[in-house]
Amino acid sequence: MNTQIKGLTGFPTTKTGIKSYAEAALNEILDGYVNPLEIKVRLTAMKAVIDEIEKSEEYKDAVLAEAQRYRKDELMNLYDANICIKENGVKYDYSGCNHPQYNSITEEIEKLTARRKSFEKYLQTVEGETDYINPETGEICKIYPPLRTSTTGIAITINK
């Protein structure tokens, strides 16, 4: 049977195997056997495929149903992995609690966050050392632009 998923069954499933596989692949790239830009595009596409599969509710349900067919001790070393059925991503919604102090604190935080973002936007426009007069105290102080750091890389968008 020739299926789309068949290629994934050849990948290692242990940390040691994954590290060895990655090192060997990296060596092939760095030694010039393959085009690094092409590999970057293909790896980006692989991540997109993985994300597409893993966000599927049907897939998640199928994985959980399959795991539930095994006893806990059988899941301890299945496919070279320790599989555990557990709650993932527990979230709480406090909006309906109607606690006056909580609501007040939340409102203050939202106002302060908006105020901070406004200051950050302003500080990004500061060029060099600048005198600033604090409107609340009248104090004069020196302000400086924020430290900006970045890395240079490439962005890949997979075509339709």
Q: Tell me the pLDDT tens digit for each residue of 27-85.
A: 999 999 999 999 999 999 999 999 999 999 999 999 999 999 999 888 888 888 999 99
The CA distance from 107 to 94, in Å, is 13
- 140: in domain: no
Residue 129: how many other CB atoms lie within 10 Å = 9
| Structural domain harbouring 25 | 8-77
pTM comes to 0.69
- 51: in domain: yes
- 155: in domain: no
Identify whether the C-beta of residue 158 lies closer than 8 Å to the C-beta of residue 45. Answer: yes
- 42: in domain: yes
The CA distance from 46 to 62, in Å, is 21
Identify whether the C-beta of residue 129 lies closer than 8 Å to the C-beta of residue 144. Answer: yes
Determine the straight-line distance between the first and last CA of the chain, rounded to whole angstroms.
28
- 102: in domain: no
Report how far apart, in Å, the C-alpha atoms of 76 and of each of 10, 80, 84, 111, 114 are. Answer: 22, 9, 8, 49, 48
Q: Please give the tally of structural domains in the chain.
A: 1
The CA distance from 88 to 91, in Å, is 9
Residue 18: how many other CB atoms lie within 10 Å = 13
- Dump pLDDT digits (tens) for 91-129: 999 999 999 999 999 999 999 999 999 999 999 999 999
- 127: in domain: no
- 149: in domain: no
**DSSP assignment of 13-40:** -SHHHHHHHHHHHHHHHHTTSS-HHHHH
